[in-house]
Amino acid sequence: MEYLIGIQGQDFVLVAADNIAANSIIQMKQDQDKMFKLSDKILLLCVGEAGDTVQFAEYIQKNIQLYKMRNGYELSPKAAANFTRKNLADYLRSRTPYHVNLLLAGFDETDGPGLYYMDHLSALAKAPFAAHGYGAYLTLSILDRYYRPDLTRDEAVDLLKKCIEELNKRFILNLPSFSVRLIDKEGIHDLEKLMPVGAK
């Protein structure tokens, strides 16, 4: 039902998430923000079981901030991703596993941009592009076909638009709007919300 997508360029990462918070067949909220700011240059996108998503993401967010307070410097995106994965893994075989799917996007001074894919079984993979949700079945092939490592910012946004138009055309559920953000060496930038034509 929910959809996340991330595209890494040469010196930026572009991420987008849908804005619907649903409960069985009802849309409870149409402007839900599924991106959590872990630090000035790291975003965590989180979808999955109701309740688990926000609770797990806020738990990671506060722990990352605590690390900065205690040690005086921030975790890198790679370290944050591995920390998140370890938490998922620890809870996986407990009585209360967190059923969440995540994308972690960040910009590191030394390593550059990074996009990390994590799922509810606590897999972790660094990838040039990734998506979560039923929408991924429709859009991963578009990313395979048109992605290039040297995409400019505008080209990446166009690629994202292509994916969202495909969802609007073929996906059975109506996803009327998507939050879009871009991370580069300057930090996190909010881009214009994408609202595919033909939807409300």
Enumerate binding residues for other proteins (CB under 8 A). 21, 23, 25-26, 28-29, 32, 49-52, 54-55, 59, 62-63, 66-67, 70, 87, 95-96
Distance CA 159, CA 152 (A): 11
Q: Which is nearer to other proteins, 49 or 119 (CB)?
A: 49
Q: Considering the complex, what minimum distance in angstroms separates the CB of residue 62 from other proteins?
A: 6
Residue 13: how many other CB atoms lie within 10 Å: 30
Beta bridge partners of 15: 6, 181
Q: Which is nearer to other proteins, 10 or 32 (CB)?
A: 32
Distance CA 138, CA 96 (A): 31
- Among candidate residues 180, 136, 184, the one with its CA nearest the CA of residue 35: 180
CA distances from 162 to 79, 81, 155 (A): 32, 28, 10
Q: Considering the complex, what minimum distance in angstroms separates the CB of residue 97 from other proteins?
A: 9
Q: Which is nearer to other proteins, 52 or 184 (CB)?
A: 52
Distance CA 189, CA 183 (A): 6
Q: Considering the complex, what minimum distance in angstroms separates the CB of residue 85 from other proteins?
A: 14
Q: Considering the complex, what minimum distance in angstroms separates the CB of residue 16 from other proteins?
A: 21
Q: Which is nearer to other proteins, 19 or 139 (CB)?
A: 19
Distance CA 67, CA 43 (A): 16
